[in-house]
Structure 1
Amino acid sequence: MKKTSWTSKLISTVSVSAAALMLFAGFASAHVTVNPTVAQTSAWQTYTIKIPSEKELPTTKITLKVPEGVAFKQYQPLAGWKISTEKNDSNEVTSITWEVDGDNEGILAGQFQQFNFVAQNPQAETEVAWDAFQYYSDGSIVEWTGEPSDSTPHSITTISEEPAAAGNAAASGDHHGSAATGNEGHDDTSTEAGTGDANAADDDTTLGDALTDTVTGEPNNTDTDTGTLKLQQATLIVSILALIMSFLGIALATRRKKR
């Protein structure tokens, strides 16, 4: 009886451990994000949405809802992607969709893609939430519409009269400081070397400033994002360990039955 009790306890422990490991693996994932997370009131802002493919399936479409109070202006065209917008009765853009086009397979496992657009921020200080819907090739949809504590949270941008101060208070981030100093009358055709940071234009920029800050992208970014790759590797390792422990529990139970 003692041996039976010991075996049962071992199997129970293995099962619980495997379940916990699989649960951890589920949390070890990257999110769809919109940057910058802090921006200037009324500014013409270059925003970047970053989409990692978390499944072993390609992401073929992403739809982003434009928050109320944010005035969408322009998007950056990108080869291999068909871009469309939806408008309300007031002719305001309410959502933008990027969908694979031509021979583009989409955002493959271990890859991420960034899309850029320009919008004008609200005049008053507020927080805007970016709801996003990620479509995979099998028809499944991940809705990034939850609160920050949820497993699929939406991105939030804090609109502030003092974005630098707000950014420092919230968290340390990679923002440009005073990037628009002396930019009044800035030529729309000129570009500054090294522009394209997703967190640029946090200050009171003009539309021309925002447009020159746009990143020139590729159809699919084949350079694996370091953070996303580490998370995926951790998920794979944890899943393998959980599987091994489950097999170990089954083997011990089978061996006990044979005795």
Structure 2
Amino acid sequence: MLRTVLARAAVVAGVAAVATLALAGPASAHVTVNPDSATQGGYTKIAFRVPNEKDTANTSAVEVNLPTDTPIASVSTRPLPGWTATTVKTKLATPIKDDDGGEITEAVSKITWKADATSAIKPGQFQEFEVSLGPLPKTDQVVFKALQTYSDGDIVRWIDVPAAGQDEPEHPAPVLKLTAGTGDEHGAAAASTAPAAAASDEKDDSGTNWLGFAGVLLGLAGLVAGLLAYRRAASPAA
């Protein structure tokens, strides 16, 4: 009887662990943009978060493509030790206006980061590539198609555009959601950039903490259930 009770408790705890892993697993699987939302017409700082998903190769290069149909006039990269960033500009079919009323005829369409011999993203690690950009277009979202190159020559193309109401594609592109602004985005963006990035990290951390807490609760529930069943089995019949 005792063996049966303990086996049941182990099954409950095992189910709890599997459920926790199923919830936590997909969260860190893709190339993402953080924060994942900003304001139309404003300026913001974002970070492309790139995890290494291989056990036997390093990530040696990351390429991010910016749309030219909704171009962004100002794009700058933040220096990252061990990585070299290069940008490519494309001539625009339709020029856009800058903040001073002048015309911009070309915009950054691609950013490529390449690692030196010691700075590649190793298995079990991730890296963030920060970019400042704006003014953001007046559209619902900006899709950044990305290519992740591994040291073994494999290239993972994060270029599938997620569609509303459909399952997430296998290799979704990073997407920045845009919301309508209040008309004072230029001044407010500089003050809110750092808090927005921090809030994104706090959101990610809180999500991870929640999953860990849920796993602990489920495990404790399995243990309590096993102990109660053992006490009932061990108590003499009335």
* CA distance in 1: counterparts of 2:196 and 2:36, whole angstroms: 18
Q: Which amino acid aligns with 2:115?
A: V
- The separation in 2 between residues aligned to 1:109 and 1:53, in whole angstroms, is 5
Alignment match of 1:156 (pick from 145, 156, 175): 175
Counterparts of 2:54 and 2:64, CA distance in 1: 19
Displacement of 1:96 in angstroms is: 0.4
1:64-213 counterparts in 2 under 5 A?
Answer: 64-68=64-68, 69-71=70-72, 72-89=74-91, 90-101=105-116, 103-148=117-162, 149-161=168-180, 196-197=197-198, 199=200
Q: Deviations over 1:50-106 (max 9, x none)?
A: 0000001110000000123241421100110011011113431101011012x4240
Work out whether residues 135 and 141 of structure 1, in 8 Å CA contact, stay in contact via their aligned partners in 2: yes
TM-fit CA distance, 1:49 = 0.3
**Residues 122, 44 of structure 1: CA spacing in aligned structure 2 closer, same or farther, 3 A cutoff?**
closer
SS class of match (1:153): coil
**CA deviation profile, 1:177-222 (whole Å, cap 9, x unmatched):** xxx8x86997xxxx98x7852749xxxxxxxxxxxxxxxxxxxxxx
* Closer/same/farther in 2, CA of residues 32 and 94 from structure 1, 3 Å limit: same
Contact 2:83 2:119 (C-alpha < 8 Å) held by counterparts: no
**Identical columns (%):** 30
Give the Cα–Cα distance (whole angstroms) in 2 for the partners of residues 104 and 77 of structure 1: 16
Q: Give me the TM-score of the superposition, normalised by structure 1.
A: 0.52
**Cα distance change on mapping 1:185 and 1:30 into 2, 3 Å:** closer
Q: Which runs of 5+ in 2 are unaligned?
A: 1-21, 92-104, 163-167, 202-206, 212-238
Q: CA offsets per residue over residues 204-256 of structure 1, 9 Å max, x none?
A: xxxxxxxxxxxxxxxxxxxxxx96xx9xxxxxxxxxxxxxxxxxxxxxxxxxx
CA distance in 2 between counterparts of 1:33 and 1:87 reads 23
> C-alpha separation between the residues in 2 aligned to 1:51 and 1:88?
25
Kindly indicate which of the two structures has a greater share of residues assigned to strand. 2
Query: Unaligned regions of 5+ residues in structure 1, if any?
Result: 1-23, 164-179, 201-225, 231-259
Stretch of structure 1 that moved more, 152-161 or 116-125: 116-125
C-alpha RMSD of the superposition: 3.5
Following TM superposition, the consecutive aligned residue runs of length 4 or more in structure 1 with deviations greater than 6 angstroms are: none
Contact 2:71 2:107 in 1 (8 A): no
- Give the number of equivalent residue pairs: 157
Residue 107 of structure 1 and its aligned partner are, at CA, apart by 0.3
Describe the SS at the equivalent of 2:38: strand
In terms of fraction of residues, the more helix-rich structure is: 2
Question: How far apart are 1:125 and its partner, in Å?
Answer: 3.4
